[in-house]
Amino acid sequence: MDSIRGRLLVAGPTLLDPNFRRTVVLVCEHSDEGALGLIVNRRTPVAVSDAVPELAAVLGDGARLWSGGPVQPSSIVLLADLDEPPDDVLMVLGSIGLVLQGADLAELPLGARGARAYLGYGGWGPGQLESELERDDWIVVDAKADDAFADDPERLWARVLAREGGEYALLATMPPDPSLN
């Protein structure tokens, strides 16, 4: 098994599960034991300052929570761009990592892209993601650091597919409900 840690899973057109339909998932961990990822294109209307006030100082005024996935949706997962990653961070892609529990949030050396807080995450047991990949539920593409912090998350699915070119560029133009086309 080749790990796809640090790459993106882009929901294929046949993936109709409402938890993942038209999502872009940053794979944060992938091994024989399973996989963990964060949906990076679903912002919630919930203000960080209302839900988790202690994170407001780290994430900034007006920051929103993001829906990271259906697993443990009441837990908070912090993804951050870090200039000098401390030991309590699981590095995912370049300078981007998952801040682990117990990290000193006040001392995080945030980089230019800052950080985002996610409610829950996507999780796959041993072999589960590989089965979904064989069924073409997901399209695996190389991630760019800015994908995880996109300013226009509602267009990220189409933008990531379009940059792949070919048949993926055509797929990127597919409306959310093809029957309305």
Q: Which residues pair with 81 in a beta bridge?
A: 96
Instruction: Evaluate whether 181 touches 20 at the Cβ level (below 8 Å).
Output: no
Which residue ranges of the chain lie beneath pLDDT 70? 178-181
pTM of the model: 0.94
| Residue 109 neighbours by CB under 8 Å, 6+ apart | 82, 83, 84, 85, 86
47-87 pLDDT, tens digit each: 999 999 989 988 988 899 999 999 999 999 999 999 988 88
- The mean predicted confidence, pLDDT, of the chain is 93
Distances (CA, A) of 99 to 15, 80, 92, 137, 168: 30, 7, 10, 29, 33
Which pLDDT value is given to residue 178?
66
- In terms of DSSP bridges, do strands 64-67 and 110-124 run parallel, antiparallel, or are they unpaired? parallel
> Other CB atoms closer than 10 Å to residue 75's CB: what's the count?
12
pLDDT in tens, 167-176: 999 999 988 7
> CB neighbours of 38 closer than 8 A, spacing ≥ 6?
25, 26, 28, 66, 68, 69, 77, 79, 118, 121, 122, 148
Domains of the chain (ranges plus CATH)? Answer: 7-180 (3.40.1740.10)
Q: What is the rounded CA–CA span in Å between residue 124 and residue 17?
A: 14
The predicted pLDDT at position 73 comes to 94
Q: Tell me the residue type at 90.
A: L
